[in-house]
Amino acid sequence: MSSRKRNAFTLIELLVVIGIIGLLMSILLPTLRRATQAARETQCMNNMRQLGLGVMMYADGSKGVIPFDGDPRYGNTDGDRNARSVGWWQDPGLWINAVPEMVNSKAYSDMQLDSLAPKNIPLPRAGKTSIFMCPEAGDASPSTANLAEVSNGYYVMWGHANALNTPSPLGTNMAAGTTDSKGGAVVSRNCYTCYVINSKLNSTTQTGGKLKIVKMASMIPSSEIALFIERRVSMSEIPAAISTVYGSPNGNDLPSRRMARIHANWDLFTNRHRDGGFICFADGHDAWFALKEIVLPKGYTTGNANFDFNQSGKVIWDRYGKATP
C-alpha cells in the first residue's frame, strides 16, 4: 500500500500561524510607531539646532548682533496685518533671510519670489523637507481672531517690497498706509514656518532713538534664554483644559492668538510631540518641554496679566525683566 504525501496545512495549523502573525504585529507596530515618532522628533530638533547655529554664525559676522524679527526701527512688526508690516521682505537682517543662508539654505524672501510666476516653485509646507518645517506639522490653520490669515495651507503675512525710509519718530508702531522708499504700499506674501524666534528678546521699549538690537553676549545665562520655539500651527494643538486655565491675560485667549507671525512666545507654543514641543536656547542646545509647563507655570492664575513667565533655571523669555503677557 503506497503512502500519500501531505502538501496542505490543516485549518488548525492555519489559525495558529495567523494567531502568531497577529501577536507579532501587536508587538512590533507600537515599536515601529515609536521609532517613526522618534525619527520625526530628531529631524525637528536638528532643524532647530541648525537655526540656532545660523544665528550664532550671523552674529559672528555682525559684531555680535543677532538677526531681527521685523524692522527694528518700528515698535510693532508682527506682520499679521497691513498696519504691522515686518518691514522690507528682502531685508538681509530679517531672521528668515539671514539664518538660512548661514547654514547653506535659501533666504525665505528668495523662496517667496521663486514661488511666483514664471518659476512657480512651491514654498515649504506640510509634508515637505525643509529647515522651516516640522515633520509632524500639518497645513497652516487660522486662529479664531483672523480666519483670513491662512490661504492654501500657508499663513498670509504683510511686508514691503522695498527698503523702508527711516520712520519718525523711531519706535512708533507702523501705521496703515506706510509706504516704502519707492512709494510702494504694504504687500502680502505667503509665509509658513514651524519655528519662530522668541518675540521677547527685543521686547524692551527702546529709548533715545536707538535701534532695537540684541547681542549674543547679552543672552545670559545662554543655556536658559529661549532663542527659537516650536510654534503651533493648528487650533487642535490647544487642549481645552489648558486654554481654560490660561484665560485671557492680555485680552486674547490662546485660540485667538494670531499665528501669521515669524516671532512668538509661550502663548503660541506647540504640543505636537508627546503633548509638548522643543525650544532652542541661546547656547545652541534644544530641549523638549510639555505644553502645560510652558503655558501654565507654577503659580500662574487664570487671566493674570502681571505674571512673570520667566522660569529661572528652565526658560527665560525676557532677559531684561518680567516676561508678561
Domain range annotation of the chain: 43-295
CA separation for the pair 87, 97 (Å, rounded): 13
Taking alpha carbons only, the member of 295, 276, 296 closest to residue 286 is: 276
pLDDT at 52: 97
For the segment 195-218, the average pLDDT, to the nearest whole number, is 76
Angle (deg, nearest 10), helices 11-60 and 95-102: 100
φ, ψ of residue 159 in degrees (nearest 5): -160, -175
Residue 1 has pLDDT above 70, yes or no: no
Residue type, 270: T
Could you tell me where the DSSP H helices lie in the chain? 11-60, 95-102, 108-114, 240-246, 291-295
Percent over 90 (pLDDT), the chain: 70
Which residues are registered as beta bridge partners of 160?
A: 88
- Write the CA distances from 60 to 54, 64, 66, 137, 287, integer angstroms: 10, 6, 9, 32, 24
First to last CA, the chain: 93
CA separation for the pair 271, 238 (Å, rounded): 7
Helix (H, G, I), strand (E, B) or coil at 42: helix
Helix (H, G, I), strand (E, B) or coil at 263: strand
Average pLDDT, the chain: 90
Helix (H, G, I), strand (E, B) or coil at 277: strand
Work out the burial of residue 225: count CB atoms within 10 Å of its CB; fewer than 13 is exposed, 13-18 middle, 19 or more buried: buried
Cβ(254)–Cβ(192) below 8 Å: no
Residue type, 224: E
Dihedral angle sign, alpha carbons of residues 213, 216, 219, 224: positive
Cβ(122)–Cβ(232) below 8 Å: no
Q: Residue 11 has which C-alpha cell?
A: 485549518
CA separation for the pair 180, 89 (Å, rounded): 11
Per residue in 289-306, pLDDT (tens digit) is 999 999 999 999 999 999
Residue 35 has pLDDT above 90, yes or no: no
pLDDT at 19: 82
Per residue in 219-244, pLDDT (tens digit) is 999 999 999 999 999 999 999 999 99
pLDDT at 135: 95
Q: Tell me how many degrees the CA angle 153-155-159 measures, rounded to the nearest 5.
A: 145
pLDDT at 82: 87
Cβ(152)–Cβ(192) below 8 Å: no
